[in-house]
Amino acid sequence: MDVATWLRDIGLGQYEKAFRDNDISGEVLAHLRAEDLTGLGVTSVGHRRKLLDAIASLALVSRSAPIGASASLKTALPLSAPTEAERRQLTVMFVDLVGSTELSRQLDPEELRAVMRRYRSAVTDEVDRFGGHVAKFLGDGILAYFGWPKAQEDAAERAVKAALRIVAAAGGIKTQEVPHLRARVGIATGLVVIGSLGEGEAEHPDEIVGETPNLAARLQQAAGPDRVVISETTRHLVGGIFDLEDLGRQPIKGIGPSVALWRVHGIGRSESRFEGLHGTILTPFVGRGREIDLLLERWGRVRRTMGQVVLLTGEPGIGKSRLVRFFGDRVRGDRLQAIHFDASPYYANSALRPVISEIRRSAEFANIDPDETQFRKLELLLGRALADTTGAIPVIADLLGVRTGEQHSLRDLTPQQRKAITFAALLNWVEGLATRHPLLMVIEDAQWLDPTTLELVDRINDRIAQLPVLLLVTFRPEFKPTWSGAHVDWIVLERLDPIEAAAVAEAVAGKRLPQEVLNEIVAHTDGVPLFIEELTKAMRDLNVLVDAGDHFDLLGSLPAVTVPVTLQDALMARLDSLPPSARHAAQVGAVIGREFDR
């Protein structure tokens, strides 16, 4: 397929060079998503939607017409969208515009149409921003999926973040008759079957069957204006990432007499995503003795003013964040400073977002703080590191979006000049912290760092050898760091052996487990700590274990092992990342089982 010709055919030939420079072939084109297009420089929301629609059209015509033939689709579906119905876990969002009937009486039909277009566009933009899929427009209601057509390991978290932004975005839409629009959102997570239920023109590949969409719609009805309400399963998946209010168990028509409801007030104040998901009380740490010894030895060098970098890599769920947390607890008794940059896939194209988030958290900014309060808090924070803050204050305040009277001098600078003085201020802040006490600087999930933050880390690495700083960077194997030098070490986390895996399972259970249960857990988790923890919790909740003092006894036979809800999205995301042939092989393997004869 000639991608350049295809782009010209759909009227977007201006992106030919960007696609060519990034090696976007016809095969790669099929798998592009909204965030990929943003990375290619497609900043226009309208152009992204047009491209996604055109890519979706390829999926519909590829089996019967030449690639590039046109077709229309109301919503954007990647080419990888399944053509057959499949069973999978999905997070479903239902958005409703409050007071739409009254609005239709107040506004002229043309004005109402303009308002509805703005409302739909705002919802669609936020769903797209977090990798969701708008499935249907139902009058003033909007149905969206997270975790389809491509699974996401954090689908529930994405949905809740999108919902909070949708409520805020709706509130920003005003008319002369209406001060602002008000939306309400319901979110539920569960197993569904997704696929077409119709024929011919009525065929829609994104129709879902199951209780989950009904529950999401009912939760939306139970939510008040400007509120987001989520189900118990969704709450379980997002952990402590958000500030939640338990609304108790309420009767929900068509669902049940007692359904747990949770209201989302906003983002929580966890130090990191790991802490938000797992809380502050963790299971006992098992294994990784050599890795901890290496980190402690490097920390000893740091205390002798010999800066060190440790690159910690491993597959998802292997325990990178848990190792960082355990090491932090081990050195907490030392007098030290700490900085935590937490990268996120949502902000991989937002310059210095991890840095901004860390400074706002460390300065204890609150959303309701006026600029004067934020300015004073920033002064206090920088004053702990710098003897003279006059040069750094206006620069970092400008980075954080805090208005001051000293920023007028920055307005005439070029982007390159602003970046240079921002980097200088941030590097001085880091060095100032290190001169007070040894500094532990953690960068989590470096595979999602934006280019500007990566460049800043390069600068830090260049200076670190002569500073009492330990830079500890975690990342997945697909990320290829360029940092090197005598002060740089690698730790590659491998899977746990069966003895260590059994020890983790019993640590999670809190007591000795029957050997039959241990064997099942070890056999099905392949030494991945996250899988071991979640499967052990699922086993514990099956009500087949009885407390016998210092151990558990098994009641009857052990039921068949099923995938815990907390692992469904992560495992499906891995499957969806495979090419079709490998995915088919995995499906066949799932039927055959792990052991079979010729």
Domains of the chain: 3-61 (1.10.150.50), 86-273 (3.30.70.1230), 288-492 (3.40.50.300), 505-592 (no CATH)
Q: Which residue has the tokens 């970092």?
A: 396
pLDDT attached to residue 273 = 64
Compute CA 57 distance to the chain's CA centroid, rounded to the nearest angstrom. Answer: 28
Compute CA 484 distance to the chain's CA centroid, rounded to the nearest angstrom. Answer: 29
Q: Which residue has the tokens 């980190």?
A: 295
Other CB atoms within 10 A of residue 410 CB? 15
Cα–Cα nearest to 155, from 88, 82, 105: 88
pLDDT attached to residue 170 = 93
Cα–Cα nearest to 275, from 301, 240, 305, 249: 240
Greatest distance between any 2 Cα atoms in the chain: 78
Give the Cα separation of 283 and 495 in Å (integer). 18
pLDDT attached to residue 280 = 52
pLDDT attached to residue 207 = 85
> With contact defined as beta carbons under 8 Å apart, do 310 and 473 qualify?
yes
Residues 6 or more apart from 389 whose CB is under 8 A from it?
A: 379, 382, 383
pLDDT attached to residue 578 = 82
Question: Which three-class secondary structure state does DSSP give residue 334?
Answer: coil
How many residues are listed for the chain in this entry? 598
SS (H, E, C) 240-297: CCEEEEEEEEEEECCCEEEEEEEEEEEECCCCCHHHHHHCCCCCCCCCCHHHHHHHHH
> With contact defined as beta carbons under 8 Å apart, do 545 and 521 qualify?
no
Residues 6 or more apart from 354 whose CB is under 8 A from it?
A: 341, 342, 343, 344, 347, 443, 449, 450, 453
Cα–Cα nearest to 528, from 276, 239, 278, 322: 322
pLDDT attached to residue 168 = 93
Q: Torsions phi, psi of 147, nearest 5?
A: 110, 10
pLDDT attached to residue 80 = 43
Give the Cα separation of 43 and 33 in Å (integer). 13
Based on its alpha-carbon atoms, the radius of gyration of the chain, rounded to whole angstroms, reads: 26
Q: Which residue has the tokens 């002569």?
A: 466
pLDDT attached to residue 254 = 80
Q: Which residues face 90 on adjacent strands?
A: 190
Q: Torsions phi, psi of 402, nearest 5?
A: -90, 120
Q: How far is CA 138 from CA 126, 134, 356, in A?
A: 18, 11, 38
Give the Cα separation of 460 and 339 in Å (integer). 13
What would the DSSP string read from start to end of 530-567? HHHHHHHHHHHTTT-EEE-SSBEEE-SSPPPP---HHH
Amino acid in the structure at residue 93:
M
Give the Cα separation of 79 and 56 in Å (integer). 5
Give the Cα separation of 567 and 576 in Å (integer). 14
Give the Cα separation of 7 and 142 in Å (integer). 30
Block mean pLDDT (10 aa), the chain, length 598: 80 86 79 79 79 68 35 37 73 93 85 89 92 89 92 93 95 81 95 79 74 94 94 92 92 85 87 60 79 96 94 94 93 89 88 94 88 91 91 90 72 86 94 94 95 94 92 95 91 94 91 90 91 88 79 79 85 84 85 84
> With contact defined as beta carbons under 8 Å apart, do 529 and 274 qualify?
no
Q: Which residues face 102 on adjacent strands?
A: none
Q: Torsions phi, psi of 41, nearest 5?
A: 100, 10
pLDDT attached to residue 175 = 76
Q: Which residue has the tokens 């056999």?
A: 523
Per DSSP bridges, beta strands 545-547 and 488-492 are: unpaired
> With contact defined as beta carbons under 8 Å apart, do 144 and 135 qualify?
yes
> With contact defined as beta carbons under 8 Å apart, do 86 and 576 qualify?
no
Q: Torsions phi, psi of 200, nearest 5?
A: 55, -130
